[in-house]
Amino acid sequence: MANTVKIPVPALNKEISVSTGLFINNEFVPSVDSSEVIQCFNPATEEIIASVVAGSSKDIDVAVAAARKAFKTSWGKNVTGWERSRLINKLADLIERDAQELAELETLNNGKPVAIARDFDIGDSIQCLRYYAGWADKVTGQTIEVDNKSKMAFTRHEPIGVCGQIIPWNYPINMWAWKVAPALAVGCTIVMKPSELTPLTALKLSELVVEAGFPPGVINTVPSLGSVGGAALSAHPDVDKIAFTGSTLTGRKIMEAAAKSNLKKVSLELGGKSPQLIFESADLQQAAAWSALGICYNTGQDCTAGSRIYVQDTVYDKFIDVLVSTVKETVIGNGFDQKTGGGPLVSKAQFDRVWGYIDAGKAEGAKVVLGGERRNTKGFFVDPTIFTDVSSDMKIVKEEIFGPVLSIGRFKTEEEAVALANNTTYGLGAGLHSTDASQCMRVSGLLEAGTVRDLSDVTASGSIRISSILFIGLGQFI
Ligand code: NAD
C-alpha cells in the first residue's frame, strides 16, 4: 500500500489529500516486507480518518541507507552552506504558502484549534527554519594559538552524519521543524520517525521537501510504531545520532539502545512537572491569566505546562477565585469551531490516562474546585480541572499528567516556596509571579529548572523576565 488519500474536512466542506507511503529517497513507497498500517484518528470525533503505511525495521534500514548515501554524495560536506540555506528558506516559504491547509490537517489528526495550529505551531516552525537557514553558512570553527611559531591549530565544525529524529504528537509540525532545521543547516541527513498518533502532517511536509528541491535521501520520513521503527533507529549501527523528544520512559530506552549498539550520540528532551510560584506582591489578574494559559494551552499536553502552582497564603483564596473564573473562559471543543481555546486530548489512551489521574486526585483527598466531571459526548474532551489543598506526596503533584489538570498548594515563606518547587524529579521549567525585582532575581536563581520564567508584565509591574535554555540548537548536530 502506498498511495494518496483524500481526507474529508466536513466543517469546511473540502478534502485534503495526503500521501500515505513511507517517504524515502524523495518518493512515497510501500514497506519492503510488511502490510501493517497505522490508523489515524480524529480525536474530536473518534473516527478513523486515514491509514498510512507502518514502517518495519527493514524499512528503517532502507531509509538509513538512503540517508547515508545522500550524506556522502549530495549533502553533508558536498554542498555549500549557502545552498543549504537556500533550500531551507525555500521549504519555509512553501510551508508559509500552505499554512492554512497544514493547520487544518493538524487539527484533524491532533485536535488542536486551527488558528492556534496555523499562527503559533506553523508560524513558529517557519521562523525556526528561517533562523537556522541563516546559520547554515556561518558555522565556523576557531583558530587556536599554540606555543610555536611554525604551528597553527584550528577546529572545524562538521556534521555528525545520519540523524534519527523521533518526535511526539503534541506539536507534530513544530517538533518536525525544531528537529530538521538545525540538522539540515549543518549538513546532516535525516530519518524522521513521527509519532504513530500524528503522522499526517509529517507526510504532507515531505511533499514540500520534494517541491523545495532537496536531493533524494536528505530527509526521509518513516511513520512506524515506537517499539518497531523508533527502537530500530535507536539501535541502528549506521545512525550517528538520535534526537528525541518524548517521555522519560522512552528516553531511557533510547539511551540504552544507543549504548548497546554503536554508542551513537543522543539528545533527549523529556517531560516536566513545572512549578509556578505566586508571591503576595504579584498582580493576581495577570498571574491568573498566565496560570490559566499555562495549563489550558494545548489542553495541557505541553512539556512545560505549569501544572503545579504554589500560592503565598496571604493571597491564596483570592488567587484561586480569580484563577477559577479565568480558566472557565477557556472553551474546550472541536478545533474547527472558532470559539475553541483548547481541543480534545490526542487519543483514547491519553484520555484514560488523564482520567486516571483525576480519579486518583479525588481518592487521595484533594479538593476539586473546577471541572472533574466527565462529558457524555463523543471525542476525547477533558475540561480543565483544578485541585486545591494538595500535598507533596499525592500522585497528581508528583507525576506528569499531560492534560488540563492543575494542583494548587500554599506556602508561607520564600524558602518554603523554593523547597516545594524543587521537590520534583523533573527540572524542565518553572515560573514565578512577583513585582519585587530582587525577589525575581533571587528566586529564579534558586529554582532548579532549565527554563525559569518571570511571567509578570514588565510595564505593569516593573518586574523582569528571565529565561535560560534553548530547546534546540546547532550544537546537537555537529
Ligand atoms: P512517547 O515517549 O510515548 O513517544 C515519543 C516518540 O517516541 C514517538 O514517536 C514514539 O513512537 C517513540 N517511541 C516510543 N517507544 C519507543 C522506543 N522503544 N524506542 C524509540 N522510540 C519510541 O511520548 P509521547 O506520549 O508521544 O509524548 C509525550 C511526552 O513527550 C511527555 O512526557 C512530554 O513531556 C514529552 N515532551 C517533551 C518536550 C520537550 O521539549 N521537553 C516536548 C514535547 C513533549
CATH class of 4-269: alpha beta
Tell me, in angstroms, the distance from the centre of ligand 1 to residue 242's CA: 13
- CA 325 from chain center: how many Å? 29
What is the pLDDT confidence band of residue 455, given thresholds at 50, 70 and 90?
A: low
pLDDT score of 437: 87
DSSP 186-209: HT-EEEEE--TTS-HHHHHHHHHH
Residue nearest to atom 36 of ligand 1 (CA): 246
Closest ligand 1 atom, CA of 233? Answer: 20
For the cut 60, the answer to whether the pLDDT of residue 461 exceeds it is no
Task: Report the 10 Å Cβ neighbour count for 265.
Answer: 15
Instruction: Give 376 or 397, the one with higher predicted confidence.
Output: 397
Task: Report the 10 Å Cβ neighbour count for 255.
Answer: 15
Q: Are 324 and 355 in contact (CB under 8 A)?
A: no
| Count of alpha carbons within 13 angstroms of residue 466, beta-carbon side | 24
Angle at CA 128, nearest 5°, toward 127 and 131? Answer: 85
Tell me, in angstroms, the distance from the centre of ligand 1 to residue 475's CA: 22
| 152 phi and psi angles, rounded to 5 deg | -140, 140
Q: Are 23 and 52 in contact (CB under 8 A)?
A: no
Is 3.40.309.10 the CATH number for 275-477?
yes
pLDDT digits (tens, 9 = 90+) for 18-76: 999 999 999 999 999 999 999 999 999 999 999 999 999 999 999 999 999 999 999 99
pLDDT score of 12: 87
Is 300 close to ligand 1, i.e. is its CB under 6 Å away?
A: no
pLDDT score of 456: 58
Q: Which residue has the cell 508561607?
A: 412
Note the pTM of the prediction, 2 decimals: 0.94
pLDDT score of 451: 86
Beta strands in 132-270 (DSSP E): 143-144, 153-154, 162-166, 189-193, 219-221, 241-245, 265-269
Task: Report the 10 Å Cβ neighbour count for 20.
Answer: 23
What is the pLDDT confidence band of residue 463, given thresholds at 50, 70 and 90?
A: very low
Is 55 close to ligand 1, i.e. is its CB under 6 Å away?
A: no
Active site residues: 269, 303
* Lowest-confidence segment of 88-92, 142-146, 297-301 by average pLDDT: 142-146
What is the pLDDT confidence band of residue 475, given thresholds at 50, 70 and 90?
A: confident
Q: Are 19 and 36 in contact (CB under 8 A)?
A: no
Calculate what percentage of the chain has a pLDDT beyond 90: 87
Q: What is the mean pLDDT of residues 421-434?
A: 93
Tell me, in angstroms, the distance from the centre of ligand 1 to residue 46's CA: 22
Tell me, in angstroms, the distance from the centre of ligand 1 to residue 248's CA: 8
Distance CA 68, CA 85 (A): 21
Tell me, in angstroms, the distance from the centre of ligand 1 to residue 316's CA: 35
Q: Is 229 strand, coil or helix?
A: helix
pLDDT score of 2: 58
Q: What is the mean pLDDT of residues 309-330?
A: 97
Residue nearest to atom 15 of ligand 1 (CA): 226
Cell numbers representing residue 59 in the block: 524499512
Tell me, in angstroms, the distance from the centre of ligand 1 to residue 250's CA: 6
pLDDT score of 1: 55
N- to C-terminal Cα distance for the chain?
A: 37
Is 164 close to ligand 1, i.e. is its CB under 6 Å away?
A: no
Parallel, antiparallel, or unpaired: how do β-strands 385-388 and 405-411 relate?
A: parallel
Cell numbers representing residue 166 in the block: 523521533
pLDDT digits (tens, 9 = 90+) for 156-181: 999 999 999 999 999 999 999 999 99
pLDDT digits (tens, 9 = 90+) for 340-363: 999 999 999 999 999 999 999 999
pLDDT score of 361: 98
| 434 phi and psi angles, rounded to 5 deg | -160, 150
The domain segmentation of the chain, as residue ranges, is 4-269, 275-477
Residue nearest to atom 31 of ligand 1 (CA): 247
Distance CA 433, CA 174 (A): 28
Residue nearest to atom 42 of ligand 1 (CA): 303
To test ligand 1's pocket by mutation, which of 247, 451, 471 has the most ligand atoms within 8 angstroms of CB? 247
Average pLDDT of the chain to the nearest whole number: 93
For the cut 80, the answer to whether the pLDDT of residue 476 exceeds it is no
Query: Rounded to whole angstroms, what are the CA distances from 233 to 10, 161, 213, 270?
Result: 37, 14, 26, 18
Is 400 close to ligand 1, i.e. is its CB under 6 Å away?
A: yes
Is 302 close to ligand 1, i.e. is its CB under 6 Å away?
A: no
Residue nearest to atom 3 of ligand 1 (CA): 247
Tell me, in angstroms, the distance from the centre of ligand 1 to residue 104's CA: 23
DSSP 348-390: HHHHHHHHHHHHHHHHTTPEEEE------SSS-----EEEES-
pLDDT score of 470: 36
Is 211 close to ligand 1, i.e. is its CB under 6 Å away?
A: no
Is 231 close to ligand 1, i.e. is its CB under 6 Å away?
A: yes
What is the pLDDT confidence band of residue 367, given thresholds at 50, 70 and 90?
A: very high
Is 245 close to ligand 1, i.e. is its CB under 6 Å away?
A: yes
